Structure 1
Amino acid sequence: MLQALLEAAFALVALGVALSMRPWRLLVDRTLPGRYATPQDVPRIASPLWTPLLATLVILPWLWAMPTLHKMPLQLQWSGACLVVLTLGWPLAMPTLALVGVIACLLSPGLAGHEALRLIVWHGMLPATLGMLWGVLLRQWLGTKVFVYLFGRCFMGTVFSLFAASVLASATGQPLPGVNEDLSHIAHWLMAWGDAVVTGMICSVCVAYRPDWLATWSDRLYLYEQVAEKHDRSA
């Protein structure tokens, strides 16, 4: 009972802080820069973050519900939370992951009540929050470099965040069913690497072709300022 209250408190605090930042502003239509005769002539385009948001709500609930939809010898659950926070940013990722958990609960009869809450907290909000904090530390320690973002934040950040969340979950009495504690840590470690490989590949493709799908990426910050800094050094 106490554990459920702590999980509910964490989820409510995370949602409250995220919603206080008004993340829906990221989904507002944007205006194209340029000179126009009247304000009515300014063209507007939909926010590019609608694409990763809708993809998350369509795909991720099935991945979260998959272990409960059929019997598996090892009940490993895909997270994808670090990818969500990289594409949407932490404030928008929190309500999105909560909604993913609700949809997964509707898809699978095995997810209800406390099980759905644990899924949202331990597989969604906590690793996403750890990934966000890891990104902040990397920027403070190593600066804004493309390699630091892709390898340090997207890849290694996903590994550490998911594994740390799984270790904390096991410490609170949520081991994998039918598996001893040592083997469960190995399973979570390997699963974190698989999640990290997918996250790193998708973010690398987005940086190259669709950087506007990454709310945590900035061409000006990671590319233009680095080029300007190298030019100043050479001069």
Structure 2
Amino acid sequence: MTHSGSTSRTLPATRGRTAATLPAAARPFHRRHAVLRSPLTASQEPPLSSRPDRRPPGLDRLNAAPLSDALDQLLACCACPEWAARIAAHRPYPDLGSLLAAADEAAYDLSPAALTAALAAESAPRLPPGSPGPPAAAHTALSAAYSAYESRFGHAFVICLDAFDPSRRLDQLLAAVRTRLALAPEDERALAADELRALVRGRLARALARPGTRSDSPYVPV
């Protein structure tokens, strides 16, 4: 079975509400990040997942892999057996866009228990060791915000950093986690699921572009 096109669906927790009436951090991913993200510099290449017509070198390998090997590769991108099994079962995929569309659809359709397990498997984003910039106090504040978030929502703070300007990642993280701490649990769960889908897209694209390397989103350990 092959896949084509992309999916566009309304977040369950925000149905019946327009983006303008939602808190900034609870707006749909593509609209909200247009505000939160700083423009990329001219030298920065756009994320691999933004070029869905590509046929990355690892795609044929994923399509032809034994089921157990395919599941291992997919679970490294999203630690949800339900999601990985569905993606593996629908192979082969003709191009990256088809795979990413299927990944989004499968993530949207996760059962509540499967989504809870997938979010629980994530770790909060971290900055690269030794990165220049903000003082240690800012990193301490970020750690405290992470702890408060996990205590309130029961899982690590999940956010996709793939298209953020590296020089402003810490500021963006602090602003995002503080804003999202104020959300109602149902709104934050929908937003965290949205961010998880973005993370998975990036991990899949990187894993297929560079077979044999880790698929982690930058500074976001799986």
Give TM-score, length-normalised by structure 1: 0.26
Q: As a proportion of its length, which structure holds more helix?
A: 1
| Structure index of larger Rg | 1
Greater relative contact order (CA < 8 Å, ≥ 6 in sequence):
2
